[in-house]
Each structure stands twice: as structure tokens, then as C-alpha cells.
Amino acid sequence: MSSWLKDESIAHEDKEEVLLLIKNKNITELRDRFYRDLEFGTGGMRGVMGMGANRMNRYVLRRAVQGVANYILKCGEEAKKQGVAIAYDSRNNSRFFGHEAASVLAANGIHSYIYPTLQPTPCLSFAIRKLGCISGFCITASHNPPEYNGIKVYWDDGAQIIPPQDAEILKEVFSIQAFSDTKYMPFQEAQQKGLAHHISEDILTSYFETLKGLSLAPHVPKNVSIVYTPLHGTGKIPTLRALNSWGFENVFVVPEQAEPNGNFPTVKKPNPEESEALALAIKYATERKADYVFATDPDSDRLAIVSHEPVLAKGIMKHQAVGDYVILNGNQTGALLVNSILSNRKKTGKLNSNHKIVKTIVTSDLLEKICSEFGIEIFNTLTGFKWIAGLIRSWEEKNNGFEYLFGTEESFGFMPNNNVRDKDAIAAICQAAEMIAITKEKKQTLCENLFEIFKKHGAWQEDLISIDLYGEEGSLRINRMMKSMRESPMTEWAGTKVTKIYDYLDPKTQKEQNIAKSNVLKMLLEDGSKISMRPSGTEPKLKFYISVCSKNSNVEESYMNSINKINNLRKEIYIFVNKVK
């Protein structure tokens, strides 16, 4: 804290925020702001905005960008010329932070290409690849509460950084001892000197053109009524543009959530994974008798789908229902999309053995069953689309002829387009709308379609338990729980024996599954159920992922068995969490 107050590069008014806390003897807040530097992880950083070393502010951002700049400079003169693409979302200070990043790059002689208006994450990934940039920054904190912001760092393939770039960039960031060691050129000066450029509309036009190539049934009737919410984020303009270009025009946008607003006034968190964030959209859907609800997070990389299911919502899917609408979880949506893509490609003769599907290790194994049905190979990676993109890059380097078709993870993330190497809710919305139209033509709903899949491959159900643990003590408790499970692992869960434990910190597991080192534990149970646990890489959370399957001749009975298994496992997990203080 003393170094912060003594640093001449920090403006007096920014020191005043800290001095006021000292004056008021707010020791808890001061400790949280300075007990560590805001963590710059393997994909970037994210934190509460404010002054202090453990907060997201202009000085912390400049140091991070300077570290990336130092690494780019070591890559040679050509890398400097390739430059860095920058996008920002609707969060408070996102535009300001985007310009600050460009200012640091310019002071280091590195060109930047920044969108003149807010844009979703997929448009950043697309721009990196289209412009041939060496790197990219997306200013966002995704679906975190409004007090957060952050920066995601990308490399030349349009994906977030992975080894070896991540470790080398981290080394450069950590080598910067003082905020005064960062270089800076005002953004307007950078523009005048030809170092900061705006990304042209042509790039966006090209992005939307590539989306049209994903359509597998362009002539299917588009008589689907949709309510859409961007949750105050970047999604309204690109989503309407994309859906309209695919022929879907019956789209009602929730007016209270249509425009960008970094305060996210109508929700606690702009997270489409949480039903509270979808409540207003479901209300409008009920009033308008809409078929479906779509929702995206502030940077439009996550997609939630809600289906009008008046029978199932009151029956065996009531645990996922609000009124007559069922909120599909990420695994269910992923399974439906993969099944739709493979079946329609097979039907039209566009499926071949080189096509590959990719999912993460915590995503439902139902996808493996679906892919097996169609004779298509599926790969598993660590959590995060940077690993899915990294796998694609390895295929390209090997020139093995593999063709990436689709990638998914349970946290409402989908990557349908090889031209974008990160989650892309805009592309996924288009694929989902077409899937819905095809399903509707068969006089089915999505949930009815899901149960058809269950009849073939068993009734699968997944659940996620997120334990929020804030601050220094929260971080320590997360570590204690991971340590406890490693040192004294559960031998059974809810009366079902654990048959195998995979520890992804163990080199043996890494080698066996051909997966990089990660702080993840995966436990396989005797009945085929699976429990995984890992600390979140972007939020102060410990996450437990549960996946179960039941199968007999009665699919509804099987599904209820799966629900009961989930409920029993949830109880056991909370007992474990409460035991480890």
C-alpha cells in the first residue's frame, strides 16, 4: 500500500480513494485491495473496479498490457507491425480501458486496431484472424456482477493464450515491478501518429457473411416466435442482424434490457446461466405466447435457451421450469445442437469421417454417445475454449486433415464457427433458431426432441454447484477443500462407490488423457455417475460438476431416477463443503 501511495505515476485523485479508506480505518477493505496484486492468469485478468493493487484500474491494466507488449517486442519487428486487435463490451469503463490498452501499445511502437463501438467477443476473435494480428484484447468481465471488469488476452489464431505464450507473457507481466515502468501515449496522439486505428465495418460484414455458411436448412419455414434479451450487453445489434440474415424476423427484444448499460439495472448479475437473469424475458414470452427465449451475456459469448413446454414444465422438467417455460441447461443445449448438426449434415450428405466434435472434461458424456451414433470422433479438453481452440491449432500444425465441426462446454458456451476461436453466442443463436425451426416443422419442441435422444442413449442430467468464496479467506478455503479431497478422497457418494479418481495435477493423468496440467479432480462412480471439482479460473468460486445417467425401457422413469441421483449427490457435496472450513 505504501508503494502505491508513493508512486508518482499514480494520480493524486486516485490516491485519495485509498487515503479516505485509511482515514475511515476500513482495514478489511484496505487489506482486500492490497493483500495481493490482481491476478493475471493464463487468459488475462478480472476483478472489482477501484483503486489498489488487487483492483481493476488503469494502472493495473497498463502494467498487464505492458507485459504483453514486452513479449510482442521480443517476437520481432514483424510482430509489432501485425499489431493487436481490441474490442470492449458494455461494462462501465470498458471503452476507457480499451483506449488505455491502445495507448500503452502505441507507446511501445505497436499498432492497435480497435472497434469504434462496443462489440461482442466473437467479433474480436474474428478480427484478429481477419486482420492478421499477433494478439488481441477483449475488455470484459463476461457475466460477473457490475462492479467487475477485466481483460482477456488472445494470440494470433484468435484464441485466448495457452502454452507456451501464457507462461512467457506471465513472466513479462510479473517482471514489471512498478506502475511507473509502463509506457504510455495518449490515445488521440496514438491515432495522430498512425499507431491506433479503428476497425472498419468491412470486418463485421465479413463476420456476418461467414455465419450464413453455417446454415444446413436454409429453406425450412422460419415461423418461430422468439423473445431475446442481451441483458444490457453487446448483443442486440449483432443478434438481430444475424437472425434477420437467416430469415428469422419474429424476434421481440426485451425493451428494459435492450440497450447497453454497465450497471445492469434489471438483474443482480447479467448471467444467462441463472434463472433470475431470465425472469423478465420469460415474463414477456408468457405475455406474447412466444415459442422460445434466447439470452446472451454482456460480451455475447454465452447463450441460454428457454423453451415453451406447457406439459413438461408442469411435469418431469418442473425443476428447470418457470411457468410454462423450461430453461435448458448448457449440456442439454449442447447435446441438442450436436445431434441436430450431425443428423442434418448426414441427411444432406455433408458429413464425413474427418469431421470432429470437441467438448470439455466437465461436459456431459451424452455427447460421446451421440457422436458414436453418427460415427464421428469426439475429443475432450480442459475447461475453457482456449483449449478447444488449441486442439484445432494442433490439428492444423500436424496437417492431419481433421475438420473442426463444433465445440461446446456445459457453461452455456458454444463454438460453431472455425473462423472464431472462442465462444460465439451470435453464431450459436442462428444455429439454434434453425434447429428449432426444423423441430417445429416436425411438430416437436426441443424438450420432446431431447427425450427422443434420451430414449436412444439414456436419460442424462447434469447439475452445477458453485460455492462463492470471496477475498483472501475465500481463496484459502478453496485451497483447503481441494487439498482435503486430494489427501482424504471420498470413497463413496450417496452410497455409491468411487471407482476411479483423475487428478489433473498428476502427470500420470495428464499423460493418460493427453491433457495439460490443471487443478481439477474428476471422480467416477460405480453407477456411471461423474463428479468433478475445480476452482473457477475467472471468479472467486469452487465449482462441482455432477453428471448422471439412468436407462431402462421407460424414459420418463429413467429421467426421474437421474433427478433423484442428482439431488442425493447435491446433499453429499454440501455436507463436504460445510465440513471443510
The pTM assigned to this predicted structure is: 0.95
- Which residue, 328, 352, 375, sits at the end of a domain? 328
Question: Are 31 and 118 in a shared domain?
Answer: yes
Residues 497-513 have a mean pLDDT of 95
Is 257 in the same domain as 366? no
Domain extent at residue 356 = 331-456
Distance in angstroms (rounded) separating the CA atoms of residues 177 and 162: 24
Q: Are 452 and 462 part of one and the same domain?
A: no
Q: Kindly report, residue by residue over 74-118, the tens digit of the pLDDT.
A: 999 999 999 999 999 999 999 999 999 999 999 999 999 999 999
Reduced 3-state DSSP string for 240-265: HHHHHHCCCCCEEECHHHCCCCCCCC
Residues 120 and 285: their CA atoms lie apart, in Å, by 25
Q: Examine the fold and report which residue of 297, 313, 328 is the final residue of a domain before the chain moves on.
A: 328
Convert the pLDDT of each residue in 520-531 to its tens digit.
999 999 999 999
What CATH number did the domain enclosing 10 receive?
3.40.120.10
- Same-domain pairing of 111 and 177: yes
142 is catalytic: yes
Question: Do 216 and 106 share a structural domain?
Answer: no
Q: Which of 142, 529, 547, 562 is catalytic?
A: 142
Residue 183 is placed in which grid cell?
Answer: 509506457
Please count the structural domains in the chain: 4
Based on the domain organization, do 357 and 450 belong to the same domain? yes
Give the CATH number, domain containing residue 548.
3.30.310.50
Task: Specify whether 8 is located in the same domain as 40.
Answer: yes
Among residues 171, 199, 227, the one where a domain terminates is: 199
Same domain, 274 and 313: yes
Q: What is residue 42's predicted lDDT score, i.e. its pLDDT?
A: 62
Torsion angle defined by CA atoms of residues 89, 94, 99 and 104, in that order, rounded to the nearest 10 degrees: -110
User: What confidence tens digit (pLDDT) does each residue in 279-313 have?
Assistant: 999 999 999 999 999 999 999 999 999 999 999 99
Residues 555 and 443 in one domain: no
Q: Which grid coordinates are listed for 132?
A: 492478421
pLDDT, tens digit, 9 for 90 and up, residues 421-437 = 999 999 999 999 999 99
CA-CA-CA-CA torsion sign (438, 444, 449, 450): positive
Residue 357 and residue 322 in one domain: no
Same domain? 184 vs 79? yes
The pLDDT tens digits for 441-462 are 999 999 999 999 999 999 999 9
Q: Are residues 211 and 191 located together in one domain of the fold?
A: no
